[in-house]
Structures are given as structure tokens and as C-alpha cells.
Structure 1
Amino acid sequence: MRKIAHIVSWVLSPLLIPSYGMVMALWLTGLGVLPVWVRVRIAAVVWVLTCVLPMLAIFALWCLRVVTSFGLNNRKERPIPYLLTVACYLATAGYLYAIHAPQWLWLFMVAGAGAAVVSFIVNFWWKISVHMAAAAGLLAMAFRIASDKLAVIDMWPVITVAILLLGLLGTCRMVLKCHTLGQVLAGTANGFLWVYLLTI
């Protein structure tokens, strides 16, 4: 059970969620008219900025003994990685803005940065779930794509899968004793509200 929980936590890691969101935006909305090579290039840049760079930074912090685990399960070790994540999200938003991406797309990254800032502040007193914030942000993006009629497919199956994965992830985080139910729910609200409200 714990092994499955670890796998789910890594597959739905906050470092990967922005890339999933970008794939959803580039392949399931009107942006799908862009040439495949353009969409792949954009997705690759977002992956480097929001996954590879933060991962390298966490690895460097681990080598310097600033953090003791890649999962950042110790609340006191989270502030620096959080700030680095905010910087990477804002850099990604700047990149998307520079290539004239739709406003809702680069605001998705700004919202992610906003949720990370809230997590950074709350972290000084309480251990809010960043996994849930990221996954809930992805769900909010799916809802926004559906409600704004941006999709070229029926989004309800996608939304249903996203809800199920969100529930599975929350359960896994509690099975691993990384978070309490309250921390899971708080993280979910943090990520969902930032993305859904900021992209109106």
C-alpha cells in the first residue's frame, strides 16, 4: 500500500503537474491548431522551467545538506524550495506571455506561483499540502477550459479522471502520514481557488 502511495505521489508530483497542465492546454483546446513541433517545444520549455530546474535545485540543496529528502517532508526544509518554485513559475509565465500565449494560459502559471506563496507563508506555522494544491490547480484548469468553452473535446471525462486522481492523491498523502485530512483539504482549496479565480 505504501509503495503504491509513493508511486502516486511521484507521478502526481508538484514538479510534474504544470507539464500535465500544458499538455492539456496545448492538445485539448483550440491551441491544438498549432503545429505539433511548436506545441512540443512549448511543453518542453515548461517542463524544463517547472520540473528540471526545481529538481536540480533540490538536488543541490540536498548535496549541501540544506534538505534531507527529495520529498521535502520536513516542514522546516521547505521555504527555500518554495521560493525557487515561485521564481520558476513566474519565469514560465513570463515565457508564455512573451510567446503571446492566451492570457488564461500564462495566468495558470501565475496562479501556481500565488498558491506556492500561500504555501510558503502558511508553512511557517503549519504543513499545508503542496501536492494537493498543484493537483487541485490542474483540476481547476480543466474546469476553466470546460466552462469557458475552450476545449475541442468533451472535458467531462477529463474532469472526472482529474477528480478521481485528486482523491487518490489525497488518500496517498495521508497513508504516507505526510499530511492530515485538514492539511490535504487546505492544500486543495489553495490550489483550486488560485487557478479558478485568477483565470476568470
Structure 2
Amino acid sequence: MRERLARLISNILNPFVVSFIIIVLLAFQDTSSTPEALKWALISLAISVIPVFIIVTFLVHSKKLDGFFANPRQQRNIVYLLASVLGAIDCGLMWYLNAPDLLAVAFTAGLAAIVVFTGINYFWKISLHAAFLAASVTVVTIVYGVIVIWTLVLLPLVAWARIELKQHSLAQVVTGGLLAAAMVSGVFWVYGVIG
């Protein structure tokens, strides 16, 4: 029962789903109309979440990865490198296309985080579930304020799930979450979104 619940939490709050939700929320928050929000949400998803999802799916089916989120640290290097390259392209495109500020800054924070996590992954496995969720909770708290403080309860749930599934240690989920939240806060502060 515990493993089934942990797997359910881990699957529902995975980095792809969390990214999708945060991109859509930011697109609607920082545009003046629904068509404009949908346009930026689709552009953002098309250049970030969807390509990584397709490539990871291919790598899993071709047996280069053991699974979407259950794989040895060494197998993750290719995904991290791919995400770093795509992240740099995406970030450049967001600024070049004059994307809404919140999306452009979020993509910049994402690029900074994925580059740091790529380096860390060469010697230690860090929790992307915890990192993506902590970054997203940080972003929605910055954007919407205390009304979304309830999202903090999701962090220990994901941490527990990843530990219960034996995918990460407590140190790996805590480090992933704290590092991502700190990097998002720092980038948003540098760009004047907070402060």
C-alpha cells in the first residue's frame, strides 16, 4: 500500500506535469488575454517540456534509460545534457521572442538550475521531483502570494514518495528542493520580480 501510494504521488507530481502546470499558470498570469496566454503556453511547452518528454520516451523504449524516473545516476547524464542544451536554446528563444517576463525569467531560472544539476549529477544523484516541485512552489508563491502557501504541503509528500520508492535519500530530496528554491528566488530577485 505504501509503495503504491508513493508511486501515485511520484507519478502525479513528476517534473513533466509540474512543468506543464507552472508554464500554463505563468502564461495566464503575465498576458492580457486568453488567446495570448494560450499562444505563450503552447510555444513554451513546444520548446521545453514536449521535446524532452519525447526524447526520454525514446530513450526508455530503446533501453538507454531504465525508466522515466527510475534510473541509475549515470543514465541521467544524457538527459541532463540534453535538457541543458534545450534549456539554453529555450531561454534564448524566450528572450528573443519577447515572451512575457514571468515566463522568460522562469526559463532563465530553469536553465541556471539544470546546468548546476548537470554538474552535480556527475558525482551525486539529486531529486528532480523535489527540485521541480520546490521551484514551482517558490514561483507560485512569488507570483500569487500567501494564497498558495498550501502548496508547501506537496513538498514533504514528494520527498517521502521518492525516498519510499528508494530512488533518493533524504539528503538528495532536501538538497534538490532547497537548491532549486534558492536558485529560482535568486534569479527572480536579479530580474526584479521580487525584492
Would you say same fold, with TM above 0.5? Answer: yes
How many Å separate the matches in 2 of 1:17 and 1:81? Answer: 17
Q: Percent identity?
A: 24
- Between 168-177 and 6-15, report the one with greater CA deviation: 6-15
Question: What is the match of residue 25 of structure 2?
Answer: 24
Count of aligned residue pairs for this structure pair: 188
- TM-score of the two chains, using structure 2 as the length reference: 0.86
CA separation of 1:46 and 1:20: change in aligned 2, threshold 3 A: same
Deviations 1:53-90 (A, max 9, x none): 11111122234332121224211100110111223333
Shift of 1:43: 1.2
Residues 72/89 of structure 1: CA separation in 2 closer, same or farther (3 Å cut):
farther
Match of 1:163 in 2: 152
Match of 1:193 in 2: 182
> Structure 1: which 5+ residue stretches go unaligned?
146-150
Q: 1:119 and 1:79 mapped to 2: Cα distance?
A: 10
DSSP 3-state at the match of 1:40: helix
Change (3 A) 1:142 1:93: same
Partner Cα separation in structure 2 for residue 24 and residue 159 of structure 1 = 16
Distance in 2, matches of 1:167 and 1:87, equals 31
Instruction: Tell me if structure 1 keeps the 8 A contact 2:70–2:167.
Output: no
User: Is it true that 1:95 corresponds to 2:108 in the alignment?
Assistant: no
Which secondary structure state, in structure 1, belongs to the residue aligned with residue 109 of structure 2?
A: helix
Secondary structure of the residue aligned to 1:15 is helix
CA contact (8 A) 1:66 1:77 kept: yes
Q: Distance in 2 between matches of 1:12 and 1:94?
A: 27
> Offset at 1:41?
2.1
Q: In angstroms, what is the RMSD of aligned CA positions? A: 1.9
Which among 49, 52, 58 is matched to residue 50 of structure 2? 52
8 A contact 1:97–1:106 mirrored in 2: yes
User: What TM-score, normalized to structure 1?
Assistant: 0.84
Structure 2 segments unaligned to the other structure (5+ residues): 190-195
